[in-house]
């Protein structure tokens, strides 16, 4: 992995770029989220940009209001203040920075997409797709396109897919360098809305990044495989210049598994209850992420200096 070169990154971005911190309220925040926040706020402050806060609760079956409330509280406790989409705004009620409040946005994006690309209904379950695709533990299941020619209307209890033409997507990750992916070979035709009516992550984030003007996406390297399809979908939705991507290393347990909300790993609330300070938590996350060489307290106001030209 190449070191982050801020000068090169600046040359690829507009002045005062926008990035986002976008938790999914399906569990409490843990140190892995804080490590992502260290990168998001640190890199963005070093670039003189702005951080947008977005609640990605597209999965209505797993999202909970109490997890959203806890995430907002934890961010405030850590001293991580967004420039766009404040916790106060989200607490007041409906917000353009909460996905569950933006159904009309995704419907409009779907209509735009359908005007220029084949969009169709799909009644396949995950079990159906796994059975056809030969699911493996180390590779995602590719959708075969089974419903593409069946003429199913994209209505009712059916999923909605868009056909992805064959072809490569090439982009340069700010940390990983040049990347080449073939979305249609990786995942097949992309699911936009599932059979229960939930907009998918892949579709919602691309529509959101476009409408919010996000220029730089900073996220964990586990999401790297989905980048090519998001670049493709962004272009299909009319965005000539997709965001620049920066995929950083994940925090891992001793057995190599990534930290997980579902298993309650190093939760921020538990650390707070144990008496940890915000600076201690930020410093530990920065050290585990390899941003600082030793464990030490780090204040939110210092994050930009960790990625400044002088610090590299």
User: Per-residue pLDDT for 138 more than 60?
Assistant: no
CB 109 within 8 A of CB 205: no
Report if residue 125 sits inside a domain.
no
What are the Cα distances from residue 159, in Å, to 155, 156, 192, 222, 301?
8, 8, 7, 25, 45
Query: Residue 217 sits in a domain of what CATH number?
Result: 3.40.50.620
pLDDT of residue 306 exceeding 90, the answer is yes
Q: What percent of the chain has pLDDT over 90?
A: 83
Over residues 183-203, the pLDDT tens digits come to: 999 999 999 999 999 999 999
Q: Quick check: 100 pLDDT over 70? A: yes
pLDDT at 266: 80
User: Could you give the percent of the chain with pLDDT greater than 70?
Assistant: 91
- φ, ψ for residue 43, nearest 5 deg: -65, -45
Q: How far is C-alpha 129 from the chain's CA centre?
A: 24
The CA-based diameter of the chain, rounded to the nearest angstrom, is 60
* 290 belongs to a structural domain: yes
- The answer to the question of residue 144 being in a domain is no
Tell me what the mean pLDDT of segment 292-309 comes to: 94
Strands 18-21 and 50-53, by their bridges, are parallel
- On the question of pLDDT at 58 being above 80, the answer is yes
Least confident interval from 100-104, 137-141, 150-154, 165-169: 137-141
Summarised one tens digit per residue, pLDDT across range 223-278 is: 999 999 999 999 999 999 999 999 999 886 555 566 655 555 589 999 999 999 99
Q: Which two tokens stand for residue 94?
A: 């409906």
pLDDT of residue 137: 46
- The confidence score (pLDDT) of residue 136 equals 46
288 falls within a domain: yes
Dihedral over Cα of 196, 202, 203, 209: its sign: positive
The per-residue pLDDT for 26 is: 95
Does residue 121 sit within a domain? no
**CA dihedral for 188, 193, 195, 196, sign (positive or negative):** positive
Stretch among 68-72, 77-81, 124-128, 173-177 having the lowest mean pLDDT: 124-128
CB atoms within 10 A of CB 104: 8
Residue with tokens 């399906």: 26
The total number of structural domains that make up the chain: 1
pTM for the full predicted model: 0.92
pLDDT at 169 over 60: yes
pLDDT 10s digits, 127-137: 888 887 654 44
pLDDT value of residue 259: 61
Residue range of the domain that includes 55? 6-116+170-183+202-306
What is the C-alpha separation between 269 and 253, in angstroms, rounded? 19
Tokens at 119, concatenated: 């969009």
Q: Assess whether pLDDT exceeds 50 at residue 216.
A: yes
112 in a domain, yes or no? Answer: yes
How far is residue 94 from each of residues 46, 75, 97, 163, 182, measured CA to CA in Å? 32, 20, 9, 33, 37
**Beta strand ranges found along 50-152 (DSSP E):** 50-53, 119-122
Does residue 20 fall inside a structural domain?
yes
Is 34 inside a domain boundary? yes
> How far is Cα 60 from Cα 100, in angstroms, rounded to an integer?
8
Q: Is the pLDDT of residue 46 over 90?
A: yes
């Amino acid at each position: 992995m190449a070191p982050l070169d801020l000068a090169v990154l600046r040359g690829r971005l507009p002045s005062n770029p926008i990035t986002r911190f976008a938790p999914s309220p399906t569990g409490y925040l843990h140190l892995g989220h804080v490590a992502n926040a260290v990168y998001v706020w640190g890199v963005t402050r070093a670039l003189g940009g702005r951080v947008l806060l977005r609640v990605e609760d597209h999965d209505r079956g797993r999202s909970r209001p109490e997890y959203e409330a806890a995430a907002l509280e934890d961010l405030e406790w850590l001293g991580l203040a967004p420039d766009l989409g404040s916790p106060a705004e989200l607490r007041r009620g409906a917000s353009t920075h909460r996905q569950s409040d933006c159904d009309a946005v995704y419907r409009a994006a779907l209509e735009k997409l359908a005007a220029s690309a084949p969009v169709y209904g799909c009644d396949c379950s995950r079990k159906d797709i796994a059975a056809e695709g030969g699911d493996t533990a180390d590779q995602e299941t590719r959708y075969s396109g089974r419903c593409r020619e069946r003429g199913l209307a994209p209505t009712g209890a059916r999923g909605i897919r868009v056909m992805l033409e064959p072809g490569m997507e090439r982009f340069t990750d700010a940390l990983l360098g040049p990347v080449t992916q073939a979305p249609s070979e990786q995942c097949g035709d992309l699911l936009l809305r599932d059979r229960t009516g939930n907009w998918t992550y892949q579709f919602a984030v691309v529509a959101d990044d476009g409408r919010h003007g996000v220029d730089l996406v900073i996220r964990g390297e586990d999401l790297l495989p989905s980048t090519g399809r998001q670049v493709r979908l962004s272009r299909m939705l009319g965005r000539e210049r997709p965001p620049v991507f920066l995929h950083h290393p994940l925090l891992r347990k001793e057995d190599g598994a990534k930290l997980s909300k579902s298993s309650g790993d190093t939760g921020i609330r538990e650390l707070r209850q144990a008496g940890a300070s915000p600076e201690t938590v930020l410093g530990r996350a920065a050290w585990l992420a390899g941003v600082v060489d030793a464990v030490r307290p780090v204040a939110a106001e210092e994050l930009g200096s960790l990625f400044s030209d002088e610090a590299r």
